[in-house]
Structure 1
Amino acid sequence: MSDVTTTDLCEVTTALSYLREDMRAPASFSLFVRDLPPGRGFLVAAGLEAALDFLARYRVERDDVEDFAAALHRPVHDLMPLVGLAFEGGEVRAVPEGHVVFAGEPLLEVTAPLPQAQLVGTYLLNQLCHQTVVTSKAARCVPAAAGRPVVDYSLRRTHGPWAGMRAARLGALVGFAGTSNVAAAVAPGLPASGTMAHAYIEAFPSEEAAFRAFALSLPGPVTFLVDTYDTEEGVRIAARVLTDLRRGPGCAIRLDSGDLDALARRARALLDSAGLPGVRIVASGGLDEYGVDRLVRAGAPIDVYAVGTRVGVAADAPYLDAAYKLVEYAGRPVMKLSSAKITAPGRKQIFRRTGLPDVFALAQEDPPDSPQPLLRTVMRNGRRTGPPDHWQDARERFREHAAALPGPAQRIEDPDPVSPIRSPAPEHLTATVRSGIEARPHRNAAVRTGSALPARPR
């Protein structure tokens, strides 16, 4: 299966009908998040690089059409008009990865011939939604740790190896110090970080034998997992082995279960009394920004935080209420009037101002004083306008924009989201387009009164 077939069936049938009706004029679609997830004061844009890779190679081939035909139980011949559709003439304006964004602000806008722009929508939503929601969760762990390193341990429980690779990269994008994911460490060039397995210790006749063997097999600093049996005794044994082998500086112990605050305090005391003040304490075990924040506020003597499951799957807010909606076709602004899901017509721009709320505007508007336009042209005629973005560049952008966030938006508990303000132009366009729709003959009265009939299931 190619990425072309990674789409919803309705996109295929819709595009086929567009071709039959010769509706090939340029269309603009806007991808945006309606509302922030609970417990979030901001989002961090991510997923654009994967989206651009997809668009740059997008082309419907004969094999794709055969798969479409099989799914629809129709002859291949019926779907042959789709063959050869590519994103060659497409334009993408998007918020680069690492930028902080808020509800209602477009993450991306696509302009391309209508069938192509429709076909790519599902894949774009998949990439940007998943990666933005994971990045936004990870971004909260770094300030929660208050300067202590945070590392990614999520691979074992992400929703597939692809998601684990993404989680590792996205953590690095917002400041994580490393990942346990070897493939992610090698491919995107992230720092590798890891300790040892409980199974390793269980395979030896004693913890001491396991620790000694492990240390002797690795020439550099080692980290001992001390909670396989009795945690305090594990710390004592680790201290003895490190002292005997003269391996203290740079080494660490890892706490993976129990009362991490109390255990860290006891472990610190045991290590210090053994003359090992330079041995660090790594904590893991179901941690996310909430757990890290509580431990830091309590003053737990933990040096490194390893976050895994809850961050890699964004456990408390695992999805975004996002949409990919047509906003202009053949130069005509369009909108949706469904109750609670009204869309804003026309292509957009977001202007960021220092110390002030963002301005939600139309793409052709003159900017306010000293703004930074967030939506940049990143693809023209189906080709990138510049080289691929590196996660390190995105991390620098994130640091700059996160530092400018108001304090209430950065709170771990009960953050206060920031809302953009709207310029008069999109409000006027929305009113004009709505009036035109409602003035059409034979309109259902429910629409004219602001309500809507139940949507047909897709």
Structure 2
Amino acid sequence: MSETTTTDLYEVTMALSYLRERMTEPATFSCFVRQLPPDRGFLVCAGVESVLSYLSRYRVSLDDARAFAEALGRPVRDLMPLVGTCFTGTVRAVPEGRVVLAGEPLLEVTAPLPEAQLVETCVLNHLSHQTMVASKCVRCVLAADGHAIVDFSLRRTHGTAAGLQVARLAALTGFAGTSNVATARALNFPAVGTMAHSYVEAFENEEAAFTAFARCHPGPVTLLVDTYDTVSGVAAAARVLRALDRADGSAVRLDSGDLKELSFRARAVLDAAGLPQVRIVASGGLDEFAVHDLVSAKAPIDVYAVGTRVGVSADAPYLDTAYKLVEYAGRPVMKLSSAKVTAPGCKQVFRRRGCADVIGLADEPPLPGSTPLLRTVLRGGARCTSPLPLEDARRQLAAEVAQLPATAREIRSPVPVQATVSGPLATLTGRVRRRIEREVRGPSRVERPGRVSG
């Protein structure tokens, strides 16, 4: 399946019309999140690297034109104007792994109008999914309050490609490891894993299963203890680890039931057996809410394995992300639809301490005490910067999250940080609005919408 044809059909029909009308002047599209999902005080920008890889290799081939023609029920010759189209534009983007707020552009694409239009669908797909998951992951790290978090999501993500992205974002946001072997190997990130209940069931009893597993695998092992009765399983694991002298670095894993109560009972059994160094791993439907409750209850859990609910961001499975035209042929444009107003012009985000951000115009000088957040990362269709090494991005994200107001970092009912709009951007917005009212709709008929999005 071609990446180029993995798009919404209307991107193709609009691009064809632009070409017919010779509308190929530079256009700037801004991609932003209109509003944060519930229980989110901030977001983490992610997916930029995927977008840049996609744009760098974008090209419409003859086979793509044939596929478009078939979808439209038209002869291939009608689609030939698209053949050979590559992305030749510029991208300014927030570096991956930075905190972002509602209304702020995650990236802006400037390219000949047909090119900028054709890539919309995949740009939105990469940014929306990965920003959503990265934001969920970093909340898990916050909830764990210094305890290790590992990724167990691959088997239930929405496709294996999504699973690879989730594991990478886990590494970016501060997780300690992943069960995903491919990502662990690619990123030099710790691979982690235990055993399944089926493994235990295949043996006559738990003790035989644990013994066989420990004999097969040198070094520390993690034994799944809740196949039958959790407390009995912990006791069996303790006997095996003592008999084989394998306690150092090893762990037992709780995967069901009342994890708080069972963790206290498991700790008591292990301590009574003289194994205080054996850790407790908890899994089974966990996300930041459950982790926060267990940490708050001082449950003696050392490692939290999060999977399904984090890999699909179960409580907030989508972002209200938009990719909107803000300038064409040097003319600032905006949308006035009720509740979906956009601000015109190419933009910049000026970051101040604590993420007290100001959204301004791209050509404004930096505000005192601020740093421009969007950077030119692709020019002429080719990368012009190198991505920040993963470890550096991880440290930068941790430092930035730590600077957020405590109320924005709350797991339940956080208070979102709000960006403000600069004077020049507000002035331009008012001027473009008046022009549209005068030239297009007439001032008496225009709806009066609320807050302007970035």
Shorter-normalised TM range? over 0.9
Aligned partners of 2:420 and 2:31: how far apart in 1? 19
Count of residue pairs the alignment pairs up: 449
Aligned to 2:434: 435
Structure 1 residues 355 and 151: alpha-carbon distance in aligned structure 2, compared to 1, 3 A threshold: closer
Aligned to 2:452: none
* Conserved 8 A contact 2:338-2:447: no
Aligned to 2:61: 61
Give per-residue Cα distances to partners, 1:401-443, cap 9 Å, x unaligned: 11111100000011000101111111111111111111116x3
Aligned to 2:19: 19
Aligned partners of 1:356 and 1:254: how far apart in 2? 39
Q: CA deviation at 1:447?
A: 4.5
* Conserved 8 A contact 1:337-1:447: no
Is residue 232 of structure 1 aligned with residue 240 of structure 2? no
**1:34-49 to 2 correspondences below 5 Å:** 34-49=34-49
Q: Which moved more, 1:261-270 or 1:183-192?
A: 183-192
Aligned partners of 1:348 and 1:26: how far apart in 2? 15
- Please tell me the residue identity of whatever aligns with 2:321: A
Aligned partners of 1:178 and 1:156: how far apart in 2? 16
Aligned partners of 2:224 and 2:446: how far apart in 1? 66
* Conserved 8 A contact 1:169-1:391: no
Give per-residue Cα distances to partners, 1:86-118, cap 9 Å, x unaligned: 112x10000011100100000000000000000
* Conserved 8 A contact 2:407-2:414: yes
Q: CA deviation at 1:450?
A: 3.7
Give per-residue Cα distances to partners, 1:194-214, cap 9 Å, x unaligned: 001100000111111100000
* Conserved 8 A contact 2:437-2:443: no
1:448 is aligned, of 428, 446, 449, to 446
* Conserved 8 A contact 2:355-2:417: no
Aligned partners of 2:206 and 2:351: how far apart in 1? 56
TM-score in terms of structure 2 length = 0.97
- Please tell me the residue identity of whatever aligns with 1:257: S
- Please tell me the residue identity of whatever aligns with 1:103: A
Q: CA deviation at 1:449?
A: 4.3
Aligned partners of 1:12 and 1:445: how far apart in 2? 34
Q: CA deviation at 1:391?
A: 2.8
Aligned partners of 2:127 and 2:383: how far apart in 1? 17
- Please tell me the residue identity of whatever aligns with 1:66: R
Q: CA deviation at 1:186?
A: 1.6
Aligned to 1:320: 319
- Please tell me the residue identity of whatever aligns with 1:413: R
**1:346-365 to 2 correspondences below 5 Å:** 346-355=345-354, 357-365=356-364
* Conserved 8 A contact 2:60-2:83: yes
Aligned to 1:157: 156
Give per-residue Cα distances to partners, 1:357-411, cap 9 Å, x unaligned: 2111000111111211110111111111122444323212211211111100000
Is residue 277 of structure 1 aligned with residue 276 of structure 2? yes
Aligned to 2:373: 374
3-state SS of the aligned residue for 1:349? strand
- Please tell me the residue identity of whatever aligns with 2:413: D
Aligned partners of 1:391 and 1:8: how far apart in 2? 32
Aligned partners of 2:60 and 2:355: how far apart in 1? 45
* Conserved 8 A contact 1:335-1:345: yes
3-state SS of the aligned residue for 1:136? helix
Aligned to 2:300: 301
- Please tell me the residue identity of whatever aligns with 1:46: A
Aligned partners of 2:377 and 2:391: how far apart in 1? 18
Aligned to 1:84: 84
Give per-residue Cα distances to partners, 1:205-239, cap 9 Å, x unaligned: 11111000000000111000000000000000000
Gaps of 5+ in 2: 450-454
Gaps of 5+ in 1: 452-458
- Please tell me the residue identity of whatever aligns with 2:204: P
3-state SS of the aligned residue for 1:350? strand
**1:258-269 to 2 correspondences below 5 Å:** 258-269=257-268
* Conserved 8 A contact 2:157-2:312: yes
Aligned partners of 1:87 and 1:290: how far apart in 2? 42
Aligned to 1:124: 123
Aligned partners of 1:130 and 1:2: how far apart in 2? 20
Q: CA deviation at 1:189?
A: 2.5
- Please tell me the residue identity of whatever aligns with 1:72: L
Aligned to 1:419: 418
3-state SS of the aligned residue for 2:357? strand
Q: Quote the sequence identity (%).
A: 64
Aligned partners of 1:162 and 1:19: how far apart in 2? 34
3-state SS of the aligned residue for 1:277? coil
Give per-residue Cα distances to partners, 1:322-366, cap 9 Å, x unaligned: 100000000000011111111100000000112462111000111
TM-score in terms of structure 1 length = 0.96
**1:175-214 to 2 correspondences below 5 Å:** 175-214=174-213
Give per-residue Cα distances to partners, 1:71-93, cap 9 Å, x unaligned: 111111000000111112x1000
* Conserved 8 A contact 2:287-2:310: yes
Is residue 169 of structure 1 aligned with residue 168 of structure 2? yes
Aligned partners of 2:222 and 2:176: how far apart in 1? 16
- Please tell me the residue identity of whatever aligns with 2:375: R
RMSD of aligned Cα (Å)? 1.2
Aligned partners of 1:168 and 1:372: how far apart in 2? 30
Aligned to 2:114: 115
Give per-residue Cα distances to partners, 1:136-192, cap 9 Å, x unaligned: 001001121111110000011100101111110101101000001111112233210
* Conserved 8 A contact 2:355-2:403: no
- Please tell me the residue identity of whatever aligns with 1:39: D
Aligned to 1:137: 136
3-state SS of the aligned residue for 2:323? strand
